[in-house]
Amino acid sequence: MEPGGLEWLLVPMRQLVSWGAAGAMVFGGVVPYIPQYRDIRRTQNAEGFSTYVCLVLLVANILRILFWFGRRFESPLLWQSIIMIITMLLMLKLCTEIRVSNELNVKRRSFAAADSKDEEIKAPPKRSYLDFDLNYFWHWSKFTDYVQCVLTFTGVTGYITYLWLDSSLFVETLGFLAVFTEAMLGVPQLYRNYQNRSTEGMSIKMVLMWTSGDTFKTVYFILNQAPFQFSICGLLQVFVDIAILLQVYLYSHYPQKPVSHAAHPASTKAL
């Protein structure tokens, strides 16, 4: 058979592989959060998941979408950001509803100032429109407050991006901030494990999912010649995942001296 005789078969196979890789890129990042979502919903307990994970991923993916307007990269990477934003909003909604339902006699906190019908403010004192009390930032009582915060951040950064879109330095910096923010997602988990000298409560399957997913993502960046920021920060993210895997191995095979700390299960990258 002539070498070109198999071309009719190889071309569609290459196309299928390309589509499969693109699909894995778009949806692969949210897969680890599906069992997490189901577990939280089943147990009605969100203590093992930090909503600051949602904050980091929302910021990172909003910045990545804005970066796309300045430097068009592959569509699967853009859709990945959109899917991740939707996923994080769903996680936030579930966690907020469960946390508020489990809290009794706790003063309600909000991103925007409460209106005159709020029963907790009988005689409203002088206050700004936005509640930027750092002690309660990202710990509000309604999902709509998180949406308002995300929309505000998107509006402000979108306007700044529009003004500076012609500056290549700004665009490249924006892209770096987007992927670097996401790459640092596992660092707080790494530090907390180091402080506790333990990875108790962590799921080895979850860590392996992080590592395999981030490795695939980084290889995808390199092979598809994505902007250099993606590849560099992807490699950094893989190194962090490998470091957490090493912690799991060391602390399970060579237990450290117990350190008094509150048990806090960590089933996902947490801040």
Written as one string, the DSSP assignment of 180-221 is HHHHGGGHHHHHHHHHHT--TT--HHHHHHHHHHHHHHHHHH
Whether the pLDDT of residue 19 is over 50: the answer is: yes
Whether the pLDDT of residue 157 is over 70: the answer is: yes
Q: Return mean pLDDT, the chain.
A: 79
Q: What are the residue boundaries of the structural domains of the chain, listed by start?
A: 14-106+138-253
Percent of the chain with pLDDT over 70: 76
Amino acid making up residue 2: E
pTM of the prediction?
A: 0.76
Whether the pLDDT of residue 137 is over 60: the answer is: yes
- Per-residue confidence (pLDDT) for residue 155, from 0 to 100: 97
The lowest-confidence range among 131-140, 146-155, 220-229 is 131-140
Whether the pLDDT of residue 115 is over 50: the answer is: no
Are the C-beta atoms of 73 and 226 separated by less than 8 Å? yes
**Digit-coded pLDDT (tens) for 81-104:** 999 999 999 999 999 999 888 876
Percent of the chain with pLDDT over 90: 28
With cut-offs at 50, 70 and 90, classify the pLDDT of residue 166.
very high
**Digit-coded pLDDT (tens) for 186-199:** 887 788 788 888 87
- Per-residue confidence (pLDDT) for residue 251, from 0 to 100: 84
Structure-model confidence comparison of residues 140 and 199, the more confident one: 140
Cα separation, 54 vs 193, in Å, equals 20
- Per-residue confidence (pLDDT) for residue 128, from 0 to 100: 42
Whether the pLDDT of residue 267 is over 70: the answer is: no
Give me the phi and psi of 112, to 5 degrees please.
-100, 155
Instruction: Please name the residues in contact with 7: beta carbons below 8 A apart, sequence gap of 6 or more.
Output: none
87-109 core/surface letters (b: 16 or more CB in 10 A; e: else)? bbbebbbbbbebbeeeeeeeeeb
The lowest-confidence range among 20-24, 80-84, 129-133 is 129-133
